A and B are shown apart, each in its own frame.
Chain A
Amino acid sequence: MPDHTSNGMQCNEFELLLSDALDGVLSGSGLDRFQAHSKTCKVCGPLLAEAEAGRNWLKGLTEVEPPASLVNNILASTTGVDTQRLRATVRSPQPRISWWEHEQASLLEPIWATVRQPRFAMSFGMAFFALSVALTVAGVKPADLRQISLRPSAIRHTYYATQARVVHYYENVRIVYEVESRVREIKRNVAPAEPGPRQSRPAIQKDKNDTTQQPEQKQERNYSQTDNHLILASAPLGTSVIDWSNPDPSNPDLPVVSVTTYRRFV
């Protein structure tokens, strides 16, 4: 808009007052200057006429009626509740509840809603099952719990007894035993052979001369074979025999006891 001055009013000022003039809030000298400017200014005069016409057109527009389903759709998309159901709920008298019941409901209801879910129930059931299996394996019986003493010494005793039971159970498991023996065997095979006692050399030589093509038996197997061979270690009767039960050999009056022991080479 050009900054043209006419009747003591600039066009910018005229535009600012245009809304007020159309609203009917302009009065006094301001209104007189405004009207005088509109009559003489070639830009502002038509602007006033057009603005007034446009305003009248718009005032002639009536409100349109929203679709009947609009409110229902809005409520369904926001609260998820159909209007009819909502109205029925509103009409029905609401029971009075105390603030304590209200707080209780607001606190417990979310927890209870979670617990009621099938997924939670299934998880809880699995956890209970796993716990009961673990207790059974550990040898814990619910009936025994009543008799448990809570004294420190009793607790310590229970701890060691349980530990021993677990170790015993573990070592008696067949697969553990087999794995351990295999590992031991492998270790022995990998480790360099220790020089054996001199007395055993002829026996080894003898074994090497064996032409039966049988694999050489291992030392420990030989030892194990001798487990059943009992070697009788006996002392001949006589005074020259050292009687270990009699620390004083110069005293022959003491009775000589023949001791026979069964020794096993280990």
Chain B
Amino acid sequence: MEDVQVVAMLVRRCIAGDAAAWEEIVQTYNRRIYNICYRFAGSADDAQDLTQEVFIKMYRTLSSYDHAKGAFVTWVTTITRNLLVDHFRKTKQDRLTDSMDTAASDHEDVQPLSEQIPDHSAPPDAQVRSREVGETVHAALAKLSPELREAVILRDLQDMDYREIATVLKVPEGTVKSRINRGRAELARLLQRTYRQVM
């Protein structure tokens, strides 16, 4: 959990033109923002571009952050989420032609999802197997609707509490919980279906 006073001081230094303070913010939050973008967009290239856009927007609007209204991480995540929604709307047409056999991302092997299922007849190394499972889940996550995807990413990957997620998504806590439950269940169904096809 971030120290509110430390972050507030860091933000004030940034606004005053302290480049070192800004670099500290970038170093602290770039990993988190990149992961949110990567899990939501599904592509490493898109994630990199989106992360840069998030920081550019943060840099321009840093003076609008009010620590009395909420935690800095919530503010940062809200900016990220808004940009991701914009990105999703822009690329909606491109995704209409996608199928489950589309390669998920640059971090994974360039193989369709059906070929990414681990081969049980020849047990691979545990590390490789873990990586492959991760890639499969990532591909399935990309198939969730954006509302369910963003909810489970913020909850299960970023460990945000329901109130913070409700603030970021601008929906009631009950809706957040419902979306998380439905997102988890949908993901499990997608993965079961995929495994069943391979088996």
Contact = CB atoms under 8 A, between A and B. Distances in A.
A9 B189 CA distance: 25
Contacts of B125: none
Given A19-B177, A58-B156, A66-B31, A74 B51 contact: yes
Contacts of A51: 181, 184-185, 188
Interface in B117-160: 130, 133-134, 137-138, 140-141, 152, 156-157
A161 B44 CA distance: 83
B20 to A, nearest CB: 5
B75 interface: no
Contact of A50 (B55, B141, B188): B188
Interface string B151-177: 010001100001000000000001001
Interface string B63-101: 000000000000000000000000000000000000000
B180 interface: yes
A40 B38 CA distance: 40
Nearest to A47: B185
Interface string B179-192: 01101111111011
A78 B57 CA distance: 9
Interface residues of B, number: 45
A54 B156 CA distance: 10
Contacts of A62: 134
Contacts of B183: 54
A79 B56 CA distance: 9
A53 interface: yes
B184 A50 contact: yes
B177 A71 contact: no
Residue of A50, A53, A74 contacting most chain B CB atoms (<10 Å): A74
A1 to B, nearest CB: 9
Interface in A1-46: 15-16, 18-19
Interface majority SS (helix, strand, loop, mixed), chain A: helix
Given A54-B187, A59-B156, A64 B52 contact: no
Interface string A60-71: 111111110011
B137 A61 contact: yes
Residue of B107, B183, B187, B189 contacting most chain A CB atoms (<10 Å): B187
Given A18-B177, A70-B51, A86-B23, A57 B187 contact: yes
Given A51-B181, A60-B133, A86-B23, A66 B51 contact: yes
A165 interface: no
Interface of A: 15-16, 18-19, 47, 49-55, 57-67, 70-71, 73-75, 77-79, 81, 83, 86, 89-90
10 contacts: A19-B162, A47-B185, A51-B181, A54-B184, A54-B188, A57-B187, A61-B39, A67-B48, A77-B56, A90-B19
Interface of B: 19-20, 22-23, 26-27, 30-31, 34-35, 38-39, 44, 48, 51-52, 55-56, 59, 107, 130, 133-134, 137-138, 140-141, 152, 156-157, 162, 174, 177-178, 180-181, 183-189, 191-192
The 6 closest A-B pairs by CB, nearest first: A54-B184, A50-B185, A54-B188, A58-B156, A53-B188, A66-B34
